Amino acid sequence: MFVCPECDFESAHQSRTKAHFKEVHEKIKSFKCTECEYSAVRKCHLRQHIDAIHKKLKPFKCTECEYSSAQNTALRQHVNAIHKKLKPFKCKECDYEALLPSYIKRHVQLVHSLSKPFQCNHCEYAAALKAQLLEHIRRVHLKLKPSKCEFCKYSASNNFQVKLHIRTVHKKIKPFKCTKCKFSAVNASKLKEHVSSVHEKIRPFKCDQCEFSCAERNRLKRHVDAVHKGLKPYQCHECDYTASRKFSLAYHIRTVHEKLKRFKCDRCEYAAFALSPLTRHIQLVHEKLKPYSCHKCDFTAGTNDNLQHHINNVHG
């Protein structure tokens, strides 16, 4: 094994260890993309970037589903994670399991570590990972959205968000199903959050300014930023509208400016711009589901917002 002299990174290939050292420690990325600001340590990485982002080439196709990828390694990871359900690496602090050790490291930094050493120079934002900070700068301050959806006008600051958009909006792929209700999710973490907060009523992250609680630290931060700090970093490029959440801005653009409501209810005339509002409409209006329960009385609500409104008005 070839070990990095600066950290605990190791690889069976000397070239990979050298590339790691140049990228992480020397910050040398000599291969520049001529179509965007991307740069890479190795020429092959630049070629992969151009093929995947700009040429939209995805030659590696899964034989068990519609998934395709620009890289063979990504296809192997997909097959192992989705179809073979391989997750050999386990978190020491919770029951999280992952396909790769890098996923465990990222999970620990995001979920268990309170440290956020990467500070934005333009605002108060701080991140646990450098990649998060760079993504924040590209999205919020530089307004860069080089990755575009091939089916609609949606664009994002990275290719992962576009893939997620295509899977959920256009292909409607949500393979992670709840065993207690009709809820389905695009990934295991969203399903786990749903089960913990809705069915098990586990909401360990509590707001110190009101009675709001939730299952994820990131959601608590969004609550504090939106409700108590009044932060609205997402700006509409067609009007003065600002939003505290990226989803709210996307909803605004599609409903106000693009007027897209492609998802239609088969029980009434209701139509929505996305599948999630339609699903919520069916659950609330037609199925009369009220999964959110008040911990102080017998009140139940169809949405968390209605529950919080009840708590503030009745018990606050």
pLDDT recorded at residue 124: 84
> How far is it, in rounded angstroms, from Cα 5 to Cα 17?
10
* Chain segment 189-239, per-residue pLDDT in tens: 788 878 888 888 888 888 898 888 887 788 888 888 888 988 888 888 888
Residues of the chain with pLDDT below 50 are: none
pLDDT recorded at residue 296: 85
> How far is it, in rounded angstroms, from Cα 86 to Cα 100?
10
Within the chain, residue ranges assigned H as helices are: 14-20, 43-49, 72-78, 101-107, 130-136, 159-165, 188-194, 217-223, 246-252, 275-281, 304-310
Q: What is the pTM of this model?
A: 0.38
pLDDT recorded at residue 18: 80
Long-range (24+ apart) CB contacts under 8 A made by 134-140 are 139/246, 140/233, 140/234
Tokens of 81: 């994670």
pLDDT recorded at residue 202: 81
pLDDT recorded at residue 144: 79
> How far is it, in rounded angstroms, from Cα 31 to Cα 39?
5
pLDDT recorded at residue 281: 87
pLDDT recorded at residue 247: 77
pLDDT recorded at residue 293: 84
Domains parsed from the chain with CATH numbers = 88-144 (3.30.160.60), 262-316 (3.30.160.60)
